[in-house]
Amino acid sequence: MNIDSIRDGYVIDHIAAGKAMRLYQMLGLDGLDCPVAVIKNVPSRKLGRKDILKIDSRVDLDLDVIGYVSPNATVSVIRDGKVTEKRHLAMPQRLVGILTCRNPRCITTTEQGLRQEFVLSADGRTYCCKYCESPA
């Protein structure tokens, strides 16, 4: 399987296997008109299997989304065909405007102009609504 190299864009590597399509949707990549490659179930020494996303454009990437969906993912920034920066992600402390609170009693369901905000719990694994503290 041949996929052209990226000239100017990003390679999101070490995505947990099976999470690439969720990331593709949450990052809004379906709205781009540049080449985007979704590579699934690639053999990996570290993870066993992994997914990869390649984006051939300098779009604004929301790293919090990537850290939330797959905290072990890496993001390589490609400029003129070369890797200029490699970022290791972690679960972000806050997620703003990414998740929606499912608690029907939460103030976010009625208050105009209030952005959804979730905070990482003390366990370091789950997110809770900043306002009502319901789990994501």
| Residues contributing to the site for other proteins (CB under 8 A) | 103-114, 121-123, 128-135
* Least CB distance to other proteins at residue 116 (A): 11
Of 36, 70, 66, 32, the closest CA to residue 54 belongs to: 36
- Of 79 and 115, the one with the shorter C-beta distance to other proteins is 115
- Of 61 and 129, the one with the shorter C-beta distance to other proteins is 129
* Least CB distance to other proteins at residue 96 (A): 14
- Of 43 and 104, the one with the shorter C-beta distance to other proteins is 104
Contact 10, 28 (CB under 8 A): no
- Tell how far CA 96 is from the center of its chain: 13
Q: 95 CB contacts (<8 Å, ≥6 apart)?
A: 64, 65, 68, 117, 118, 119, 127, 136
* Least CB distance to other proteins at residue 133 (A): 5
* Least CB distance to other proteins at residue 92 (A): 20
- Of 85 and 111, the one with the shorter C-beta distance to other proteins is 111
Structure tokens at 92: 């972000």
